[in-house]
Amino acid sequence: MLQAVPAADERDENWPFTVERATPAIGVYVGGINLREPLGEPACLALRRALIRYKVLFFRDQDITPAQHVALAQRFGKLEVHPVFAHHPDHPELVLFDKSGEKRGHENIFHSDVSWREVPSMGSILRCVECPRVGGDTIWVNMALAYQKLPEDVKTRIANLQAVHDMLPLFGKVLSPEQRVSVRARNPPVTHPVVRAHPESGEKILFVNEAFTTHFANYADTTAFRFGFDLKLAEMDLLQYLFRQAAAPEYQVRLKWEPNTIAFWDNRAAQHYAVQDYYPAVRRMMRATIIGDRPV
């Protein structure tokens, strides 16, 4: 059985909004709240609790301005400025995803945003500005559930493993050689535990992703081997096995975007995948990313 979650349309007595489950594993549609208005402290705390419980929150018909988008995200923490993506001209905290026949998207890989930072993000708030009528969905994955359902022998094998996360293998292709040197100097590879603990819920989370995790930092220290090639092949097999957990539909939710739909996800506990099936249609999005904590 999957991890137990509250029933559909459950209304917590302390929450000034409604929630309706999107799937048994992850995600709810939030109603009865207007994100154009400044969030009071009770609503902000309730949304944070809902985020921790459900991993991703969906809001329809939220026609907010870029300034309101930034203000909303700032209620949950300090915001980052991405070193590679295009920014809004008046709000550098807002990343712009502007895809069309002239620019194809390449976010179609399961990933956790900025896991390559020493302090990855707590969460992201993404708003749809314009999207095709069909296509361009996004998938999110409950990586706490993915860890929970691992075989016990695998949990034992990965309990003390550390993994290296690096931005350049994915982002290097869009940078000039000079930019790569500059970006690398400011963003060297970092090491995080393969299994991190959620700082608020205490859940154990499988924290590797195929976009940014390159290898284990200490695999040789934890594994007996005869030859070097045995070691490397076994390491790659284990890492690929862990990557594949995100692809299980039982751990996922898929959102069909509409203009002014907002998704707010817990980047510590969820991975996502932007489906690139809409080219050459236009898909324009804005994202604010909230700085998190060092994984432990």
Whether 98 is a known active-site residue: answer no
Whether 272 is a known active-site residue: answer yes
Q: Which of 48, 117, 268, 272 is catalytic?
A: 272
Return d(Cα 220, Cα 232) in angstroms, integer: 9
Q: Which of 91, 117, 196, 287 is catalytic?
A: 287
Q: Which of 48, 91, 113, 196 is catalytic?
A: 113
Whether 113 is a known active-site residue: answer yes
Burial class from Cβ neighbours inside 10 Å (0-12, 13-18, 19+) for residue 107 reads: middle
Helix H or strand E segment including 47: helix 41-54
Return d(Cα 253, Cα 256) in angstroms, integer: 10
Q: Which of 111, 192, 198, 283 is catalytic?
A: 111
Give 144's DSSP letter: H
Structure tokens at 172: 């290097």
Whether 157 is a known active-site residue: answer no
The answer to whether 286 and 123 have CB atoms below 8 angstroms apart is: no
Return d(Cα 84, Cα 141) in angstroms, integer: 25
Q: Catalytic positions, please?
A: 111, 113, 272, 287
